[in-house]
Each structure stands twice: as structure tokens, then as C-alpha cells.
Amino acid sequence: MFFLVSFLVLAVVSPFLPLRFMWRTAGLSLLALVAFRLMQAPVPEVAEALELLPVAGFFGVVFTVRLGIAAYFGWLNVDALIGEKTAWLDVPLLIFVGAIGGVVLTICLADVLGGSGGGRALDLGVGLAAGLSAASVFYIARRHLAVGIPLGAALSVLTVISFVGSGQSFRILEEAEKLAQGRPWCISIPIWPKRQATSADLGFFSLSKYDRPYLAFSRDGRIETWARWSIRRQRFVERKRDWVACEPQADFRSRLN
């Protein structure tokens, strides 16, 4: 809700601001709209993200008209658009751009690597590679902040999410045992119906983003499905399923490879 309100306020106010503030505020409003969409569940796919184009197009027309009026009266020049005294505003804007880009990059990478079975090693590998890349970008592009800041920020976000996400397999198993309450349990991953799930399947990047694992346990001698793992919330969310491809066992965790 915060991002949606921010978008509405900034988008409405920006056309009435001086040019040097207008396009920066407009950029922040568009980023706030993207952030709002990313925070909604489920994580949007590329096709769903295109839903934002009509909204962005409407405000694009408004800003174009404003720039046209400024050009007509001779107010459109580099100083009016940039302004030396307001250049410092570009730093937080570029950081925000990079942060949103980092989230989008993480979602795309997680989608591509889903089902790969790399597990925690893959998460740590991505985090390490992204961290080293971010450090290199900040060092190499320190004189070109327009490129270095957003790119470095995007890679930094990917680094943080990767390292935090590396504990996902542990969290899945811990909560599964807690919810089972001593009863036989198992984890079923729909994309692998003919084999038992392994710990490598449960990593943040390697976990399938469309057929996420289900927790099943045995109650009174019959199998029941209790919940589906939520990647966003990092916990199981109650959801029934008629069929699971696993057999509940009291020592299921110790049997994982």
C-alpha cells in the first residue's frame, strides 16, 4: 500500500513541479508503481508486468505535453532539466532504480534456475558472484556514477537475497517438522513425481517457482496434504492437494540426500 500511495502522490504532483524536479519525481513514481506490483503475490511474470504500460503511457503523455509547453516558451534547456544544485537528487534516484532492477533480476534468475537442483551451493555461488561483481562495478565505474550506482545497487540486492535465501532449505525442513508435530511426514515436489525430493531441490534458486513443494503428513493412517511452501513469505501456507508423490515417514529429514 505504501508504494501505491507513493506512486499516486508523486505522479499527480510531478507535472506541476519545475522541470528539474518533474522528471525525477516522475521517475520515482514509476518505480514506486513497479515496486507495488512486485510486492503483490504471486510474483508477476513478464506478461503480467505489461499491465503497467497503459498507466505509464498515460503519464507519459502528460509529461510530454508539459515538455512541449516548456519548449514552446523557450524554457527547455539543460540547466532547466538537470540543474547543478539539484544533481545530488540523482544519487538516491539511481540507487532506487538499481534496487528495483535487482529485485527484477533476482526474480528472472530464480525463474530460469528453478528446477535445476543446485541447492544451497547454487544460492551461495550466485551470491558470491553477484557480490564480487558489485564490488568490481563500484570500483571500475566510480567515475561514471550514472552507470555504476544502479548496476552496483542491483548486484548488491541480488547478493543479499541470495545469501538470505541460502537458508531456505533449512527453513523448509524446520517448519515441516514443526507442523508435523511428531507425525510421519514428507515433502512432495510436483515437477519430480517419480522420485523423492532432495535437499538440493529446496534451495532458493533451484526450487521450482511454479510447482512448489507440498508438505504431507499421515493422520490416522491416511495421507493428508497440509500446506504449500510460500517463497515470498518463507513459510508453509495452508492449501489442500488431492495427490502427492511421497510417502510420509517419521525420519523423512534424515533420509534426504
How far is it, in rounded angstroms, from Cα 127 to Cα 133?
10
How far is it, in rounded angstroms, from Cα 117 to Cα 253?
17
Binned at pLDDT 50, 70 and 90, residue 162 comes out as very high
- Which has more pLDDT, 110 or 18? 110
Report whether pLDDT(130) > 90: yes
How far is it, in rounded angstroms, from Cα 42 to Cα 111?
13
Same domain, yes or no: 71 and 4: yes
Q: Which of 7-16, 34-43, 167-176 has the highest mean pLDDT?
A: 167-176
In the listed set 36, 56, 82, which residue is the last one of a domain according to the structure? 82
pLDDT of residue 53: 64
Same domain, yes or no: 159 and 174: no
pLDDT mean across residues, the chain: 80
- Mean pLDDT within 84-107: 80
Report whether pLDDT(19) > 80: no
Same domain, yes or no: 90 and 161: yes
Q: Which of 59-63, 145-149, 233-237, 239-243 has the highest mean pLDDT?
A: 233-237
* DSSP per-residue letters across the chain: -HHHHHHHHHHHHGGGS-HHHHHHHHHHHHHHHHHHHHHSSSPPPHHHHGGGHHHHHHHHHHHHHHHHHHHHTT--SHHHHT-GGGGGGHHHHHHHHHHHHHHHHHHHHHHHHTTS--HHHHHHHHHHHHHHHHHHHHHHTTT-HHHHHHHHHHHHHHHHHHHHHTTHHHHHHHHHHHHHTTS-EEEE-TT-TTS---GGGGSTTTS-SSS--EEEEEETTEEEEEEEEETTTTEEEE---S--S---BTTHHHH--
In the listed set 150, 166, 182, which residue is the last one of a domain according to the structure? 166
- Which has more pLDDT, 188 or 105? 105
pLDDT of residue 44: 52
**Residues near 27 by Cβ (< 8 Å), separated by ≥ 6?**
93, 97
Summarize pLDDT for 186-233 with one digit per residue, the tens.
888 877 766 777 888 889 998 887 777 778 887 766 777 778 888 888
Same domain, yes or no: 128 and 189: no
Same domain, yes or no: 208 and 239: yes
Binned at pLDDT 50, 70 and 90, residue 257 comes out as low
User: Sign of the C-alpha dihedral, residues 154, 156, 157, 158?
Assistant: positive
- What is the tally of structural domains in the chain? 3
How far is it, in rounded angstroms, from Cα 132 to Cα 150?
16
In the listed set 119, 148, 166, which residue is the last one of a domain according to the structure? 166
pLDDT of residue 21: 77
Same domain, yes or no: 78 and 94: no
Domain span holding position 221:
168-255
Same domain, yes or no: 172 and 251: yes
Same domain, yes or no: 161 and 208: no
- Mean pLDDT within 162-191: 88
Summarize pLDDT for 46-84 with one digit per residue, the tens.
445 555 667 667 767 777 787 787 777 777 766 666 666
- Mean pLDDT within 173-198: 82
pLDDT of residue 79: 65
Q: Which of 12-16, 116-120, 165-169, 244-248 has the highest mean pLDDT?
A: 165-169
Are residues 215 and 226 in contact, defined by beta-carbon separation less than 8 angstroms?
Answer: yes
- Which has more pLDDT, 169 or 85? 169
Please give the order of strands across the beta sheet that includes 214-219. 185-188, 214-219, 222-230, 235-238
- Which has more pLDDT, 92 or 124? 124
Same domain, yes or no: 92 and 157: yes
- Longest distance between any two alpha carbons in the chain, whole Å: 81
- Mean pLDDT within 35-46: 63
Same domain, yes or no: 237 and 176: yes
- Which has more pLDDT, 21 or 149? 149
Same domain, yes or no: 229 and 243: yes
Same domain, yes or no: 159 and 185: no
Percent of the chain whose predicted confidence (pLDDT) is above 70: 82
